[in-house]
Amino acid sequence: MRLLFLGDIVGRPGRKAVIDALPGLRRRYALDFVIINGENAAGGFGITEAILEELIAAGADVVTLGNHAFDQKEALVFIERHERLIRPINYPQGTPGRGATLLKSAGGAEVLVINAMGRIFMPELDCPFRAIDAEITACRLKQGADAIVIDFHAEATSEKQAMGYFVDGRASAVIGTHTHAPTADERVLPSGTAFISDVGMCGDYNSVLGMDVEEPISRFLTKIPRQRFEPARGPATLSGLAVEIDDKTGLAVRCGALRMGPNLEPAEPAFWAA
């Protein structure tokens, strides 16, 4: 099975890049399943129902979220209607929406996608390790699901790497999101889980984390917020992780970075290029 995960979409440039490229990518690479983090899709903050529907129409199977999940208040309501939109599973009990979803891929495989949030330099949610453990114990790889993909939305690389090894051999992939800067440590862990500390963003990299540089610099210099953070308006670069999953075991065979666009060195997974 061929899976593509794209990192946090930031604002209109990120949405445009994804919507323009995704149908072609699905065809070119014969993708079975596509997951996108959409927590910054609406002007950099949260997601609206109209944007969610655009992303699904463009070819996203699942859209994940993070600490910005509910920045657009309408998400508190419409999230209940959409099985393809998930927010971190370790929010307190009673939070609207779901933290995991089980859906069929293009080829008919059952894919369990889980979103969780780290706790280092982040809002203190419930324990993400215990929440994920409970989920992948209730729905085991090759028993309840043909593939299990975890979007671990966290700041600290230590917490992300610990999560990778915690579920190694029990999930197909653990993909880090949230920092908006891709790391170069993608690999398949010893027991078969594909891993990257952070997949990066789909946004304008000529920016500070996708935002126009002026306000972030001013806040570092003066400590006074002067205006809203606005997404940088230049063309966005797609940043993702390609994962090849063994249909028999549900574990990863290979993974590789996919980066397309200006301001970032391009990357194409060699095992898909042919």
Please identify every residue annotated as catalytic: 68
Q: Decide: is 231 part of the binding site for Fe ion (CB under 5 A).
A: no
Q: Decide: is 178 part of the binding site for Fe ion (CB under 5 A).
A: yes
For residue 135 the two structure tokens come to 């989920």
For residue 169 the two structure tokens come to 């051999």
The answer to whether 259 and 239 are in contact (CB under 8 A) is yes
Q: Which stretch binds Fe ion (CB under 5 A): 22-30, 103-111, 177-185, 241-249?
A: 177-185
x-marked contacts with Fe ion along 7-46 as a string, rule CB under 5 A: -x------------------------------xx------
CA-nearest of 129, 135, 100, 104 to 115 is 100
CA pair distance 240, 272, nearest whole angstrom: 14
Taking the least distance from each CB to Fe ion, the nearer of 132 and 189 is 132
**Cβ of residue 44: shortest distance to Fe ion, in angstroms?**
9
Q: Decide: is 159 part of the binding site for Fe ion (CB under 5 A).
A: no
Between residue 49 and residue 68, which ones bind Fe ion under the rule CB under 5 A? 66-67
**Cβ of residue 209: shortest distance to Fe ion, in angstroms?**
8
Taking the least distance from each CB to Fe ion, the nearer of 40 and 64 is 40
Q: Which stretch binds Fe ion (CB under 5 A): 101-109, 142-150, 171-179, 246-254?
A: 171-179
**Cβ of residue 154: shortest distance to Fe ion, in angstroms?**
9
Q: Tell me, what amino acid is at 136?
A: I
- Write down the residue that tokens 């606005």 correspond to: 230
Between residue 136 and residue 155, which ones bind Fe ion under the rule CB under 5 A? none
- DSSP code of 109? -
Q: Which residue is nearest to Fe ion (CB)?
A: 8
Contacts 24+ apart (CB under 8 A), 98-105: 99/131, 99/135, 100/135, 100/139, 101/62, 102/139, 102/144, 102/145, 103/61, 103/62, 105/1, 105/32, 105/33, 105/61, 105/146, 105/147
Positions touching Fe ion (CB under 5 A) are 8, 39-40, 66-67, 178
